[in-house]
Structure 1
Amino acid sequence: MFDVIVVGGGPAGLSAALMLGRALRTTLVLDSGEYRNAPAAAMHNFLTRDGTPPRELRRLAREELAVYPTLEVRDLAVVGVEAAEGGFRVTLSDGTAQWASRLLLATGLADDLPPVEGLAELWGRGVFHCPNCHGFEVRDVPIAVLGSGYRYAELALHLTRFGSDVALCGNGPADLGADMVHLLADHGVAVREEPIARLVARDGELEGIEFVGGPPLARRAIFTGSRLRQRSPLPAQLGCAGFDDGTIEVDDFGRSSVPGVYAAVIAAAASGTIAGGLVDKELLSADLGLPSPLSAAGS
């Protein structure tokens, strides 16, 4: 029996494994090979690894973990888990089973993308969700924001720092109040409300947007949102409490609602990035005359 089985071989799971290996805990990391950032060419806002491909980060992490004798990493998915005497029985995709005293879930989230033709094929390569992660790389190229309502209008305003050619494409009515319409116009953001027919690409590179009616719009980058969901059925199988976005509910120490089950949901290394991002949003909101993101979060 292992002390701990870590389910998930991304940065969160591998970081947890490093801590456990240094504590000489017998630990098995199970990696299904599914990662939320797999489509991205590079990761950003990670000190000393800015611009590193996600695959390379995982390779380097595994290389570091290899020196710890109580750690083992296997490229297998977990297909089932259940409470057993003294811990948990974990069934693997090769038909075998392993046992552990504790489980640490680092299964992550998955994106359900807007149903626009051509969008999924460009996800992470011409269509993005995070301006802090990808905005710098697409500065000074024509940008579109795909979505309607205040959230997407605010995103379009924030993206004007990266270039002067930003358009908000509502894929239908943009659903904005008069004040926001004027604010977008003041910052040179065009608004298109025709339904979107498809995204156009050539040789895997985004070229633009075609609408059901109206002229096409040449774009080199698009930012939009996604609906998040828990990637794995394991938290539900175990009965872990969770939130609407699929995140497992944990206390300050990573403990879930199920005794013996822990979850990695926020990496400590990200705290500086989160704080820096909030400062940036506060400054931008002040510059644009928008409410503070902290007051919006509390309302």
Structure 2
Amino acid sequence: MYDVIVVGGGPAGLSAALVFGRQRRDVLVVDGGAVRNAPATEMHMLLSRDGHPPADFLEIGRGELANYPSVEARSGTVAAAAGEIDAFEVTLDDGTRERGRRVVLATGQVDEPYEIPGLAQRFGSCVFHCPFCHGWESSGRALAVINRDPEDAMLAGYLADRFSSDVVLCTHGAEEPPEEVTSKLDALGVTIDPTPVAEVGGELGDVTVRFTDGRELSRGAVFHRAPTRQHSLLARELGCEILDDGTVRVDEFQQTTVPGVSAAGDTAKLPALPTPTTLVVLGAGDGVRAALWMDGGLFRSDLEERERAAS
């Protein structure tokens, strides 16, 4: 019986395991190796690691966990999970079953770019999803934003305000955003093109957006806030509440609605937040927060058990 089973070995999962290891908790970390930011060559806004490759960050993290004997890292995926607090059981893809008193879900999300030829293949290299992560590197370039959803239209406005004087919003055949949005975009100098996009080609600094009417738009980079889905269905299997946007509901302690199950990273969010955060540093922070409060809960539970045994 492990104290904690951590599902997922990204920034959130590794950070949670590090906290548990330092508190001498018996921890199993199960990770299948799929990383949401795998196409990215750099990560940003993590102090002391700004601009470093994400793969190096993960390698360093795994190496640091090896210093703590009570932490076991295992390659694989968790195919199923069930149980309740102090009696959870997970089944790995190789059929192995393991038990844990608590579970931390750090399984993340998967980006699903529009089915435009060339778009997904360039995701992370010259097609970016986040102005905080890639806006600085796009400064001064002519930019395009490909998004149908009116809620994402203001991404073009933000880029025009911060990083570029030449931004085109490609709504890919969708209706024009509402007037209150278009008026703001117009004030920021954003051009709106409703023609469906047929293909995206080229590379950073020389990207071509081809439309179905034959026109071509030359850009330095493209931004695309892709739809997402949960990487794993384990939260649903365990009975956790899922918010309307598909993320796992957590409270300020990273606790889900199922006692003994916490969730960290972009797989989860507080209901008050509009979207889950995708930054490495915030995912790591979620993992630390989840582990700190979960460790305190384990301590109190053990103390109560000792008191009952002594009475």
Q: Which residue of the partner structure matches residue 89 of structure 2?
A: 89
Q: Normalized against structure 2, the TM-score is what?
A: 0.79
The alpha-carbon deviation at position 206 of structure 1 amounts to 5.8
Q: Which residue of the partner structure matches residue 64 of structure 1?
A: 64
Q: Which residue of the partner structure matches residue 107 of structure 1?
A: 107
Structure-to-structure mapping, 1:6-155, within 5 angstroms: 6-83=6-83, 86-148=86-148, 150-155=150-155
Mapped to 1, the partners of 2:22 and 2:103 lie a distance apart of 17
Q: Report if aligned partners of 1:228, 1:245 keep a CA contact under 8 Å in 2.
A: no
Q: Report if aligned partners of 2:84, 2:260 keep a CA contact under 8 Å in 1.
A: no
- Give CA-to-partner distance per residue, 1:233-264, whole Å, 9 cap, x none: 11111111111233211222222222222211
Q: 2:282 aligns with which of 245, 248, 270?
A: 270
Q: Which residue of the partner structure matches residue 168 of structure 1?
A: 169
| Pair 1:262–1:180, CA change in 2 (3 A) | closer
The alpha-carbon deviation at position 214 of structure 1 amounts to 4.8
| Pair 1:178–1:213, CA change in 2 (3 A) | same
Q: Report if aligned partners of 1:125, 1:205 keep a CA contact under 8 Å in 2.
A: no
Deviates more, 1:2-11 or 1:221-230: 221-230
Where structure 2 has 5 or more consecutive residues not aligned to the other structure, the ranges are: 270-276, 286-311
Q: How big is the alpha-carbon RMSD for the aligned residues of Structure 1 and Structure 2? A: 2.5
The alpha-carbon deviation at position 174 of structure 1 amounts to 5.0
Fraction of identical pairs, as percent: 43
Structure 1 letter corresponding to 2:191: A
Structure 1 letter corresponding to 2:217: L
Q: Report if aligned partners of 1:227, 1:245 keep a CA contact under 8 Å in 2.
A: no
Mapped to 2, the partners of 1:75 and 1:17 lie a distance apart of 15
The DSSP-based 3-state class of the residue aligned with 2:117 is: coil
Q: Which residue of the partner structure matches residue 296 of structure 1?
A: none
Structure 2 letter corresponding to 1:124: G
The DSSP-based 3-state class of the residue aligned with 2:249 is: coil
- Give CA-to-partner distance per residue, 1:245-296, whole Å, 9 cap, x none: 332112222222222222114699539x9xxxxxxxxxxxxxxxxxxxxxxx
The alpha-carbon deviation at position 86 of structure 1 amounts to 4.5
The alpha-carbon deviation at position 177 of structure 1 amounts to 4.5
Structure 2 letter corresponding to 1:257: T
The alpha-carbon deviation at position 229 of structure 1 amounts to 1.8
The reply on whether 1:199 has 2:211 as its aligned counterpart is no
Mapped to 2, the partners of 1:103 and 1:37 lie a distance apart of 24
| Pair 1:42–1:64, CA change in 2 (3 A) | same
The DSSP-based 3-state class of the residue aligned with 1:21 is: helix
The alpha-carbon deviation at position 195 of structure 1 amounts to 1.4
